[in-house]
Chain A
Amino acid sequence: MAAPVAAGGGTVTRRLLLGAAGGLRLRPARGFRTAGGLQVEDETCTAEPAGDVVNVVFIDRSGRRIPVQGRVGEDVLRLAQRHDIELEGACEASLACSTCHVYVSQELLDKLPVPDEREEDMLDLAPQLQENSRLGCQIILTKELEGAEFTLPKITRNFYVDGHVPKPH
């Protein structure tokens, strides 16, 4: 299957793994461009990036806390997708959409570098924009972010309906 090259310079190859019950799981494996301009290529489909572990917590759209292990140098969008957390990255970290919008705590906001003007421009289009809004693809993990929490905005009415199969009668 053709793997089109993303305009940002990274290649995107994502694989589908089907669970035993026929569920759909997405494990992204892609080269990506970090906010600092570094290009990192993945060789295998579930390879973790190299670098020290950073423990963070995602709070998903139904309020569930999901602790995950990231790596220094990894961006938060990629981290979320590596752990099947439902954070979309439509433009694949090219600052051309706002689908990876997350909320961060105020103290975390103070630790992060000031957003690029281009990130601010895209955040302007994010629904339910708040003071503590950032784009996940632009947050690069450092040791300083140990314990950080990233909250996904509640973008639909509710997100609890999941995979229920009605009993046969």
Chain B
Amino acid sequence: MFSSFRFNWLLSTAALAPQICVVGSGPAGFYTAQHLLKHHRLARVDIYEKLPVPFGLVRFGVAPDHPEVKNVINTFTQTAHSDRCAYYGNVTIGKDVMVKELQRAYHAVVLSYGAEDNRILGIPGENLSGVYSARAFVGWYNGLPENRDLKPDLSSETAVVLGQGNVALDVARVLLSPLDILRKTDITEGSLAAIACSKVKRVWLVGRRGPLQVAFTIKELREMINLPGTRPLLDPADFTGLGDVIKDIPRPRKRLTELMIKSAREKPGEKEAALWASATKEWGLKFQRSPLEVLPATDGKQARGIRMAVTRLEGSGESARAVPTGEVEELECGLILSSIGYRSLPLDSSIPFDPKLGIIPNSLGRVQGAPGLYCSGWVKRGPTGVIITTMNDSFDTAQSVLEDLQTGVLNLSNSKEGFKSVRSILHSRGVHPVTFSDWEKIDAAEVARGKLAGKPREKIVDPQEMLQLISH
């Protein structure tokens, strides 16, 4: 009788440990996990990732020449090392294991799988050779396996980037940066070699609206203005009268616009003037141009230019709308990168998804109509924002989970097996998860290879090679 009492006691304490899983190992996944682990002493959090390697856009989205932004990986590594946290890479939720199966194994499932796709232009000629999404281009130079064979055509002098956000600035900067800078970063060897042969000398960032609606931020704009070997092409006429308009607007927009006005209208200082005079490459902003059609070359397969509608603005500020004036303009170019936004996809037919907004319908991170299901990050809010936005949002979702644990909405007396049951499902389907210490072997190999080339790492871009390295 004593032993059965003890057995029941052990069962009941084990039943008190919430089993939680997170789908996606980017900032949203890791910050949600971090907050849960910190604020619940018993919770176990398992993080699933479809690639063998973790960290999502921190690894595959942040530009190679922005290594400080990637320092957050150290924070995430700490979390992964917690003995109540486990990382399982090479597991695709929605294919290798379904969300319903996760819900049977865990008290709570948090969907943090981000935005793997991009918005499309929806214009004729979009599929001509020479036209790519900025997302694929970024994936290409950052070693995202699915984009490793992109082979972008960099043989024309002029490139047009459609969109005026930080991703647009990133791709322009990578196209125009001196090779001496790029070759010391973690840009992939293959893309560096291609960029070394690039003929691109001029990049236009084209937006449908005006200077007051640009989506990029001041740090990145400053960086572009000061990019060695390049000169900015900003038309002073685009900024006429803006000085008065911005007097009373919020500080971030005001400072950003002031910098553009200054760069466009003020005479450059001696040093700047000298740098710009000797520049061999250039970049510029074109406003109030909306893409209508990508124009084909005579072979009918290659892009040779873009036709755009000239627009005027109705309304002002963030809600200003671009309306066609009837006037049309053409710009000659052989490389077009559409940078008009990332886009989330539905993971699994059982999860509610709003295709129009591209998010999982939710209230404070609780998925609508699906108890036990939560979401954080871009798949919850939409694909915009920097690390702090995602961090705050993930902490918010974790708060919802913690509240639900406290109030009993998540019923801990239903004991859940967590990874134990998922492991047998994966095993029966021939799927071998990659653990965090497996990732650390891959990490060490990348760093060692990078050292030989004077880079922080040389990314492995073939998932098979990654798996072979860890003998899977």
Contacts and interface: CB of A to CB of B under 8 A. Distances in A.
A90 B388 contact: yes
Interface residues of B, number: 55
Contact of B68 (A21, A86, A96, A163): A96
Nearest to A96: B68
A125 to B, nearest CB: 6
Contacts of B71: 6-8, 12, 90-92, 94, 96
Interface in B65-93: 66-75, 77-78, 81-84
B441 to A, nearest CB: 10
Interface residues of A, number: 51
Nearest to A158: B399
Nearest to A18: B83
Interface string B196-225: 000000000000000000000111001000
Contacts of A158: 399
Interface in B242-287: 251-252, 255-256
A59 to B, nearest CB: 18
Interface stretch (B33-41, B152-160, B312-320): B33-41
Contacts, number: 140
A48 interface: no
Contacts of A96: 66, 68-69, 71
Contact of A4 (B16, B69, B73, B81): B73
A22 B84 contact: yes
A164 to B, nearest CB: 5
A48 B67 CA distance: 28
Interface in A1-36: 1-4, 6-8, 12, 14, 16, 18-19, 21-24, 26
A126 B402 CA distance: 25
B389 interface: yes
A147 interface: no
Interface string A75-116: 000000000001010111011111101000000000000000
Interface of A: 1-4, 6-8, 12, 14, 16, 18-19, 21-24, 26, 86, 88, 90-92, 94-99, 101, 118, 120-122, 124-127, 129, 155-159, 161-166, 168-169
